[in-house]
Chain A
Amino acid sequence: MDGGDGVTDAPSWWDDDDRLLEELGHAVREARVPESFVRAGKAAFAWRTVDAELAELQLDSLLPAREPAGLRDEPRPDGSGPRVLSFAAGELSIEAEIHPDAVRGQLVPAQSGAVLVRDDDGPVREVPVDEVGWFVIEPVPARRFRLHVRTSAGASVITGWIDARP
């Protein structure tokens, strides 16, 4: 029962019944990882072949207006509200508000999809976009980031860099 067939330097987990049973228990229990943990991993593959079109910055409430304020449709923020950014690629716009606790954004026209947050090191995390185009990134990324948006209809665009704490 101790595998006494000439194996002298075998690891004890192998030779000893109690140790083998214990190690087997660890192995079986360890594989019981939460389903959400595995699901997130599988979902990542959806980003595999996504080539993204660049969404140009249209508005950053922190920057001075690039044209006389009177010519602009958007009301100028008075500095008390959240910073507002807007990006556009073709027909798709990405609006993002930087709040202290989170980045809250919306796709226009409203549609569902997913947003991938990327920083200089690469992809960081994915958040869902609901049917009315809303998404929330919480907390606000500490480092500069860009948003890679994939819509359910198959469009894929990526914003320029956003520094939430300039």
Chain B
Amino acid sequence: MRDDPVVVDLVLRAREGDAAAWDAIVERYAPLVWGVCGRYRVTGSDADDVAGGVWLRLVERLDTLHEPAALPGWLVRTTQRQCLQLLRARKRQVPVDAPEPGARGEEDGVDGEILVAERRHALRTAFAELPARCRELLSMLFAEPPASYAEISAALGVPVGAIGPSRGRCLDRLRRSRALAALQPA
């Protein structure tokens, strides 16, 4: 959702010097920047350096960003470039599956990154609004490795036979949430 009014509002407020709005931008898009770094196998303090450079650039670009809604795309492209620069400076190999900025189909790659990031942001928002029982249950189910029904039964004090139906009800609640419903195809 590139025209997300929340993002536009945050950018406008940050332009006015609102540090809380800036913090919210960083918190919201740190997973996006982190995810791009991961696809270039840039991790640890290298990832901190790349992200630091990306955010420092954004601070300067805030006023000239023509479309605040274009922020996610700008973040993806800038992070890709910074990762490549770092890898080349270190003479390290660029992972074969990492997107090459400027290559054909770049926009597909960028749009894909943004689409996934927005979907996951919506999923997190919807998940945070679920009742605590649902959050506990789903957390145990999507853990790596997932908890067994016996473990869940012991931890949450529910019969094993009730776990499957509860799982379905919690996921349905997730689908019906406002954040996720916006993503549902019409």
Contacts and interface: CB of A to CB of B under 8 A. Distances in A.
A41 B79 CA distance: 13
B146 to A, nearest CB: 9
Contact of A37 (B48, B56, B58, B139): B48
A30 B51 contact: no
A163 interface: no
A16 B14 CA distance: 39
Contacts of A29: 144
A44 B139 contact: no
Nearest to A23: B123
Contacts, number: 125
Interface in B102-156: 119-121, 123-124, 127, 138-139, 141-144
B97 interface: no
A1 interface: yes
B158 interface: no
A23 B119 contact: yes
Contacts of B120: 23, 26-27, 30-31
A45 B18 CA distance: 9
Nearest to B139: A28
A55 interface: no
| Chain A at the B interface: SS class | helix
Interface residues of A, number: 42
Given A17-B167, A17-B171, A37-B47, A126 B56 contact: yes
Interface in B44-78: 45, 47-49, 51-60, 62
Contact of A41 (B26, B121, B175): B26
A30 B55 CA distance: 19
Contacts of B161: none
B30 to A, nearest CB: 5
B127 A24 contact: yes
- In the A-B complex, the 8 residue pairs with the smallest Cβ-Cβ separation, listed nearest first, are A25-B142, A27-B120, A123-B56, A41-B26, A27-B123, A44-B55, A41-B55, A40-B52
Given A14-B185, A21-B167, A24-B123, 5 more contacts: A30-B120, A40-B52, A47-B56, A47-B60, A123-B53
Interface of B: 14, 17, 19, 22-23, 26-27, 30-31, 33-35, 45, 47-49, 51-60, 62, 89, 119-121, 123-124, 127, 138-139, 141-144, 167-168, 171-172, 174-175, 183-185
Interface of A: 1, 3, 7, 9-11, 13-14, 17, 20-31, 33-34, 36-38, 40-42, 44-45, 47-49, 116, 121-126, 142
12 contacts: A1-B168, A1-B172, A11-B185, A13-B119, A24-B142, A25-B144, A27-B120, A37-B30, A41-B54, A45-B19, A121-B57, A125-B56
